[in-house]
């Protein structure tokens, strides 16, 4: 069974935490969400998302899925239900108008990580001193980058780099991306909101992940570093050591 750690912090600038996370070790499912919307709407959206995923997993054991395609369809159904709930909440209550959330979900089975994402919360794989991003951000800037309109350096400093192009609850339907990664003993799968990777340079992330700490201690150290670097956003991280 994987070693697990998780941590969430409001950061230095924000008044409330619009991030949320949930770990379901009994089913090997892990979720990070980062809400968007005025007032407390982002906070409501992210918490509704992680609660919805947790309730779906509890009511529909994922272990019954035998094939890869069944796992993808499982999370598609789950996110459709969650998306509908958040979308309807945004329509019914004026103060929640525009509410939505990112979501990144990891399901670990044997030596495979199945990862689902919507928005710009990320999943990474850390192995042997190297950190690689599993997911791809659904952002305006990443689309420009993919199409060769801007360079990596320009993307890092772009004034619209936080504009997301997909989110759970933003529209009537939701489209998730799916990834599958083979795991080795000692690997760390890290899920996080942009409050972590947007503040801490990759080399520093590697340095912290490389320490022989518990996963709980690693998550604490990662959040502390994000705060030290400015803490301009909410920070959430889940780490799983295989």
Q: Say which CATH superfamily domain 3-241 falls into.
A: PPM-type phosphatase domain (3.60.40.10)
Are 199 and 229 in contact, with CB atoms under 8 Å apart? yes
What whole-number distance in Å separates Cα of residue 242 and Cα of residue 239? 10
Q: Mention every residue, 6+ apart, whose C-beta is less than 8 A from residue 148.
A: none
By the 10 Å C-beta count (0-12 exposed, 13-18 middle, 19+ buried), 203 is classed as exposed
pTM of this prediction exceeds 0.85: yes
pLDDT, tens digit only, all 242 positions of the chain: 679 999 999 999 998 999 999 999 999 999 999 998 766 799 999 999 999 999 999 999 999 999 999 999 999 999 999 999 999 998 888 778 889 999 999 999 999 999 999 999 999 999 999 999 999 998 766 666 566 566 666 556 656 666 788 999 999 999 999 999 999 999 999 999 999 999 999 999 999 999 989 999 999 999 999 999 999 999 999 999 99
Per-residue model confidence (pLDDT) at position 158:
56
Write phi, then psi, for 113 (nearest 5 degrees): -105, 125
Alpha-carbon dihedral of residues 176, 54, 168, 178, nearest 10 degrees? Answer: -10
Per-residue model confidence (pLDDT) at position 139:
78
Residue found by looking up tokens 């889940």 in the block: 238
What whole-number distance in Å separates Cα of residue 39 and Cα of residue 22? 23
């Amino acid at each position: 069974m994987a070693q697990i750690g998780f941590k969430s912090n409001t950061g230095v600038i924000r008044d409330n935490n619009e991030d949320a996370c949930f770990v379901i070790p009994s089913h090997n499912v892990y979720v990070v969400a980062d809400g968007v919307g005025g007032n407390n709407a982002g906070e409501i959206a992210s918490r509704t998302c992680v609660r919805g995923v947790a309730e779906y997993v509890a009511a529909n054991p994922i272990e019954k899925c035998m094939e890869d395609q069944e796992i993808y369809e499982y999370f598609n159904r789950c996110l459709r239900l969650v998306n509908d709930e958040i979308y309807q909440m945004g329509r019914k209550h004026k103060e929640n108008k525009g509410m939505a959330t990112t979501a990144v979900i990891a399901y670990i089975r044997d030596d495979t990580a199945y990862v689902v994402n919507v928005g710009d919360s990320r999943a990474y794989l850390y192995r042997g001193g190297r950190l690689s991003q599993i997911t791809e951000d659904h952002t305006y800037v990443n689309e420009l980058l993919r199409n060769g309109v801007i360079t990596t350096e320009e993307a890092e400093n772009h004034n619209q780099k936080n504009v997301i192009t997909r989110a759970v609850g933003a529209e009537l339907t939701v489209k998730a991306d799916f990834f599958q990664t083979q795991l080795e003993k000692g690997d760390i799968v890290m899920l996080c909101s942009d409050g972590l990777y947007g503040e801490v340079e990759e080399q520093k992330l590697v340095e912290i992940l490389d320490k022989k700490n518990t996963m709980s201690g690693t998550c604490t150290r990662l959040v502390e570093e994000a705060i030290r670097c400015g803490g301009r956003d909410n920070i959430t991280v889940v780490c799983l050591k295989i």
